[in-house]
Amino acid sequence: MSFGSTGYDVAHLLGGGVLLLSFVLLYQRRLDAVINAFAVQGALLAAAAAWQGYSQNNGELYVTAALAFAAKAVLIPLALRLLLRRLGLHRTMETALGVGPSLLAAAALVGLAVMVVLPATAGQAQALTRENLALALSVVMLGMLMMIARRNAVSQVIGLLSLENGLILAAVGVQGMPLVVELSTAALVLMLALVAGIVVFLLRDRMATLDTESLSRQRGEGEAP
Amino acid sequence: MLTALLLTLAGLGLLGLCAVPLSRARWGWMVVHGGALVASALFAGLGLAVLAGGALPAQALPLAIPGVAAQVAVDALSAWFLLILGLAGACASLFALAHARHAPPRLLAAYPLFLAGMALTLIAADGFTLVLGFEAMSLASWILIAAEHEDAAHRRAARLYLAFALFAGACLIPAMGLLGGAAGDVSFAAIRAAPPEGWVAAAVLGLVLAGAGSKAGLLPMMVWLPPYAAAPSHVAALMSGAMSKVALYVLARVLLDLSGPAQPLWWGVPLLVLGAASAVFGALRANLESDGKTLLACSTIENVGLIAVGLGLAACFRAADLGVLAGLAAGAALLHALNHALFKSLLFLGLGEVQHAAASRHLDRLGGLIHVMPVTAAAVLVGAAAAASLPPLSGFASEWLLLQALLAAWRVGDLAFQVLGVVAVAAVALAAALAAAAMLRMFGLIFLGRPRTPRAAGAQDGRLAARLALLLPAGLTVLFGLMPGPLLDLAAGAVQILAPQGVTERGSLAVLRVGDGGARYWPIGVALVLAVLGGAVWWLVRQRSPAGVARGPAWDGGFMAPPPHLPFGDPMTQPSATGFGQPLRRMLGGSLLAAHESVVMPRPGDPGPAHVTSGQMDPTETLLLAPVARLRDALAGWADRLRDLSLTACLILPFSTLVALLALTAWLEAR
């Protein structure tokens, strides 16, 4: 499978789409839009997994794809929307890093990922696997960047989940990765997201804001106000 | 024979393991210390057998660690130090049999392990086993030092000791790694085949000097040494007599044997300089301390310095192709190591006996003990005279040899080295004189004069085993003093390892020669002359005083008669330990030990007393320990700041680390 063949091109297209959605996540200013972009990213990820299952002829990957679609594209976005409606939040959010600088940093990170992965795997794996790994590493780093660049707790949670999307993307691209690894990674990140959701509730209850910077004023032994 | 040695080691290890259950039984302590005594005797016997018979070839350790070829072997150098360990261990174990009846179980467990660790270090034939034994020795002795951990000062001493033990390990392990080279083969045979060169050699020299030197007690890493008076007496004796020798063995083995004979002239200079400085520093400090065991520990610093001077000198002479002189210096160092192990064990045990009987080791609380503890006094007198290097005792023979070797330092062609040799001669002579003064002060304050406390007046000699533990090293000290020639012959194999061309006929039973046409020393002749002179004086005095001995009241230094509740006189009218050391403190202590002295007078009209305060400080404590402590606090402060980071900063920190690592990877791949 190399450049020009349908399998390669479609896999490349889907992986690139996931990465593109990561960029989209970075420049959204409204929470609704962030959640929508995240849902689309989940759907694309599910499609990428399904395509890999088809081209690798591996039934387990269809399970991954179905799980990813159900969780990432439907359930989590729905839950987040419910959360937003319940909390009655103002839908805009402030960024710690401006949109322009964060997009520039994101482009630099993608370059770095490509420069690291492509030479390191030279001659050891298929071209598709290598580029898939580069894309996945980029998605992971953009997820981290999003967690840093946003001050809103909900968008930080979405950054974490999009980071996990990158991990899944890497896992499905490599042949022979057992399903249990993907499932356990997904479970781990979902647990983290659950904890983060509870933190969001508490934050809202106690401080009437979702700005995580306000937490650093509440250090120490004393009771929160 | 090696099998017997290994079995002894295994037996000691077993004894250490069984010590805790054994300590429940009433005779448990006796089994442990008796076993240590037997093992020590075996060490000494095996050492003697190898010295007389010949080296035992290397043999793989039966309990090998996977991936490591641990080997043991006994050559003449190991055997000589095994002999030292055996003799010191036997004396200490004998003393422990007499006194350590109520030792807590952890001490019983650590004591055989301490002995086994030292023996393992001595018989190791590869770097791994050497470090293993060295660290076992350090850890076991740490437990022994922490014996009386209820006292905060003792806890501090143990902590300091542990820190220095870790430091020694952190120095020795990379040194062994460097010696192993690229192949990583740390067996001694492989290291000898490819000795270190260039910067590797310099790094090995620095690391081994710091690691083993700190354990031996060389300047400037000897801060931990004086506080080890905290340990029980037999342990302190063993640490001073044997453990410092084991560290010196590591120095000699790595720097003189493993690093090969092809090292340049400066190779021995650090040892020489550090040794001379330690000798002066230790001897001076011994004159100022008022705690008896701390005094002895400082004297150990001095003697270790002298031995290091001998080793350094041997390395320098060897590099200058002066094989015979190298042999002389190496022989002097080895002989002094043996002699010091015995007389210092004797002194520590004697002081332990004093502490047991008079309930103090502080010089200002003792006095007049020669009347109530004649056996201990006689034994300590022998040890103190040997430490003061008086002929015909053992200390004199070896220090005389060392000075003869130093006086020949001009035969190395380099002018700078000749100047250094002159300075070293002056330093060693000064150290010997100061050591004699320190020993005089110690003996005088403890055993002569009048008792300073009622407890000192009621002391008495120990039991038979305790007396034996003192008389055995005392007898050996006299014996070794009378026959340095045969001892040097016995050490010929060890000298040959340190200075391959250095073995010449140095002496017979009666005479010790430096070289052809050089100075000579007749120990037995000197002893006879001294005996005849002493007898004549005694006879003359008897002749001049036909009425016999009459005791009168002691002169009280011009003070008024003591009140009746002080039957032994007013203690304040006797010189105190601090007062005795005052001249030396004023002369030399100011610059070397930061000694200070001040008088606070009461204001005019105030009838209160004036106060004199005086004291000294170890300069290494302010120059070495204080900066290290400040560095630690600064690092802790920095680490503490991490705790106060905001959430975003917490996220940025790992993220930027990851990005930096990835960038590094990309950069490395691009090259």
- Contact call for A147 and B658, based on CB within 8 A: no
Tokens, residue B90: 């036997």
B410 within domain boundaries: yes
Total of domains in chain B? 2
Q: Nearest chain B residue to A220 by CA: give it.
A: B644
Pick the last residue of a domain from B498, B517, B544.
B544
Residue B471 pLDDT level (bands cut at 50, 70, 90): very high
In a domain, B455, yes or no: yes
CA–CA distance from B463 to each of B35, B99, B354, B376, B457 (Å)?
Answer: 20, 9, 13, 11, 18
Reported confidence tier of residue B120, pLDDT bands at 50, 70, 90? very high
- Using a CB-CB cut-off of 8 Å, the residues of chain B touching A96 are 648
- Phi/psi at B600 (nearest 5 deg)? -105, 110
* Inside any domain, residue B392: yes
Of the three residues B494, B514, B544, the one that is the final residue of a domain is B544
Give the residue numbers spanning the domain of B668. 641-671
B520 part of a folded domain: yes
pLDDT band at B465 (very low <50, low <70, confident <90, very high): confident
Name the pLDDT band for B639 (thresholds 50, 70, 90). Answer: confident
**Closest-CA residue of chain B to A160:** B651
Find which of B6-10, B276-280, B446-450, B641-645 is predicted with most confidence, using mean pLDDT: B276-280
Look at residue B577 and tell me whether its pLDDT is greater than 60. yes
Q: Is B647 on the interface with A (CB under 8 A)?
A: yes
Percent of chain B residues topping a pLDDT of 90: 35
pLDDT at A221 > cutoff 50: no
Q: Which residues of B touch A113 (CB under 8 A)?
A: 662
d(CA B218, CA B305): 6
| B109: its two tokens | 């467990």
Side chain identity, residue B242:
A
Interface of A with B (CB under 8 A): 96, 109, 112-113, 115-116, 119-120, 141, 144-145, 147-148, 151, 212-213, 215-216, 219
Digit-coded pLDDT (tens) for B511-560:
777 766 667 888 888 899 999 999 999 999 888 877 777 777 767 667 77
- Give the ipTM of the model, two decimals please: 0.82
Give the pLDDT score at A225: 41
pLDDT of residue A125: 67
- Token pair listed for B104: 């807590």
Residue B33 domain-assigned (yes or no) = no
Q: CB–CB of B669 and A119 under 8 A? A: yes
Minimum-distance CB partner of B651 among A109, A112, A148: A148
Give A107 to chain B, closest Cα distance, Å.
Answer: 13
CA–CA gap between residue B426 and residue B309 (Å, rounded): 13
Q: How far is A222 from chain B (nearest CA, A)?
A: 15
pLDDT value for A32: 84
Do B452 and B314 lie in one domain? The reply is yes
Task: Indicate if B661 and B528 belong to the same structural domain.
Answer: no
B515 with B647, same domain?
no
Q: Is the pLDDT of residue A224 over 50?
A: no
Cα B445 from Cα B362, distance rounded (Å): 10
Within 8 A by CB and 6+ apart from B276, the residues are: B305, B309, B423, B424, B427, B428, B431
Whether the CB of B666 is below 8 Å from some CB of chain A: the reply is yes
Residues B527 and B654 in one domain: no
Instruction: Name the residue with higher pLDDT: B641 or B431.
Output: B431
B-chain residues near A212 (CB < 8 A): 647-648
**Encoded tokens for B123:** 């018989």
**Are B536 and B658 part of one and the same domain?**
no
Q: Tell me the residue type at B516.
A: D
The mean per-residue pLDDT over the stretch A209-223 comes to 62
Q: Which residue has the higher pLDDT, B264 or A207?
A: B264
**HSE on the CB side for B497, CA within 13 Å?**
23
B509, part of any domain = yes
Asked if the C-beta of B591 comes within 8 angstroms of chain A's C-beta atoms, the answer is no
| ω into B563 cis (within 30 of 0) | no
Q: Is B466 part of any domain?
A: yes
Chain A contact set for B665 (CB, 8 A): 116, 120
Asked whether the predicted pLDDT for residue A223 surpasses 50, the reply is: no
- CA-nearest residue of chain A to B650? A148
Q: CA of B553: how far to CAs of B545, B556, B567, in Å?
A: 19, 9, 11
Examine the domain organization and report whether B538 and B656 are in the same domain: no
Q: B660 to chain A, minimum CA–CA distance in Å?
A: 10
B410 plus B518 within the same structural domain: yes
Cβ atoms B179, B190 nearer than 8 A: no
B537 and B408, same domain (yes or no): yes
pLDDT tens string A55-109: 888 788 888 888 888 888 888 889 888 877 877 665 666 666 778 888 999 999 9
Per-residue pLDDT reduced to its tens digit, B312-336:
999 999 888 888 888 889 999 999 9
Q: Given B544, B561, B595, which residue is the final one in a domain? A: B544
